[in-house]
Amino acid sequence: MARAALLAIPLLLLCLALAGGTDAARKTVGVYKLQNKKGDFSVKVTNWGATLMSVIVPDSKGNLADVVLGYDKLAQYVDASSAFGTVVGRVANRIANGSFVLDGKTIRLNKNGTTTLHGVSTVIWTVKEYVPGGDSPYITLYYHSFDREQGFPGDLDVYVTYQLCCGPYELRARMNATALNKATPVNLANHAYWNLAGDGSSDALGHLIKVFASQYTPVDASMIPTGEIAPVSGTPYDLRAPTLLGSRIKHVSGAGMAGFDINYAVDGDGFRQVADLRDPASGRALELWANQPGVQLYTSNWLNNVKGKGGRVYGQYGAVCLETQAFPDAVNHPNFPSEIVRPGGVYQHDMLFKFSF
């Protein structure tokens, strides 16, 4: 989706630590690597924004490449205007006019322009557990979102775990959040930019995509859902069969820019396949599975001349974002699946990224 600039945070936060021994060390911003035993599948994560920094996998010839866009240095993530790989929330995507009514009370939020977009993503998470190797390497990160942070009601305890598990080239991401004392909307999303040819190698228009959704949520000129849940049949948003992205990119638009920037209502319930993304040139493929009602497909329409890893320059359509989520602006549309978590209730968001080549 069209991106708002991240909050400006001084670089001194990179060396910020809470007082006291081990807790202080774990609050310092760092980079954490997970790697399989064979050594040909690895992930890097930073606790700045619970960010997925890199995912390195082979292609059909065994050549390794990083398939997510990002930066080489932590300082670049702090200063960035593109939320490469971050966990965004308390509510991802847009909330119209930065306000909603909950239990008869009007809640007013901090806004990015005329709406609230993504809430807080630029925060330091605490490393709770870190196992870099073995059969199922993983890292668990924790963040306490305080009452009225960015205007959202109530305290929220949030955990994010990244784990290499299940299959030989599979990354699982789990997000759990417990509402402690007030009802609050919760909708966390991972904002990775995927290019299966390798980051910065080319645009992603040669990728084939399939989205397991027979409906989508149309938006107005401000990118706010109209409230309709419409069939994709007969529209350029119909991706139920593998489709070359470049063949559709000029037939859809978001905020006046050609390209996909839309939420799909994923077919079925529970943990199921959401999308399939393939790069014929490298042979790499990504299956995305999740348990959320929607997925935002964003084709990096607004990405422009961003200097990324190794000095490579990322341009328009340089990657594909597949953000599993609740429906955008669900708090203002009673017909959308609810994203409200009551005190003591737990929000659970599970994702599985299955790579093949």
**Average pLDDT of every residue of the chain:** 91
DSSP 305: S
Whether 323 is catalytic is yes
Residue 8 has pLDDT above 60, yes or no: no
What pLDDT does residue 86 have? 95
Catalytic residue among 170, 323, 333, 339: 323
- 26 pLDDT band (50/70/90 cuts)? low
Residue 78 to residues 16, 32, 200, Cα–Cα distance (Å):
13, 17, 20
Query: What's the confidence (pLDDT) of residue 326?
Result: 98
Which string of b and e fits 70-107 if b means at least 16 CB within 10 Å?
A: bbeebeebbebebbbbbbbbbbbbbbbbbbbeeeeeeb
301 known member of a binding site: no
Per-residue pLDDT band for 120 (boundaries 50, 70, 90) equals: low
Q: Picking from 34-38, 139-143, 197-201, 273-277, which range would have the lowest pLDDT averaged per residue? A: 197-201
pLDDT in tens, 74-109: 999 887 777 899 999 999 999 999 999 999 999 999
Radius of gyration of the chain (CA): 19
- Of 214, 211, 222, 328, the C-alpha closest to 276 is 211
Could you tell me which residues come within 8 angstroms of residue 269 by beta carbon, excluding any fewer than 6 positions away? Answer: none
- The domain ranges of the chain are 31-356
pLDDT at 42: 98
Q: Sorting pLDDT into bands at 50, 70 and 90, what band is 25?
A: very low
**Catalytic: which of 191, 207, 333, 349?**
191
DSSP 3-state assignment of 145?
strand
Q: Looking at the predicted structure, is the pLDDT value of residue 183 above 80? A: yes
* Confidence at residue 20, expressed as pLDDT on a 0 to 100 scale: 36
* pLDDT tier, 239 (very low <50, low <70, confident <90, very high otherwise): very high
107-116, 175-184, 205-214: least confident range:
107-116
Tokens encoding 108: 């007013």
Residue 335 among known ligand-binding residues: no
Residue 173 annotated as part of some ligand binding site: no
Model pLDDT, residue 121: 57
144 catalytic? Reply is no
Which of these CATH numbers, 3.40.1030.10, 2.70.98.10, 2.60.40.2140, 3.65.10.10, describes 31-356? Answer: 2.70.98.10
Is 261 annotated to bind ligand?
yes
Question: What is the C-alpha separation between 68 and 352, in angstroms, rounded?
Answer: 15
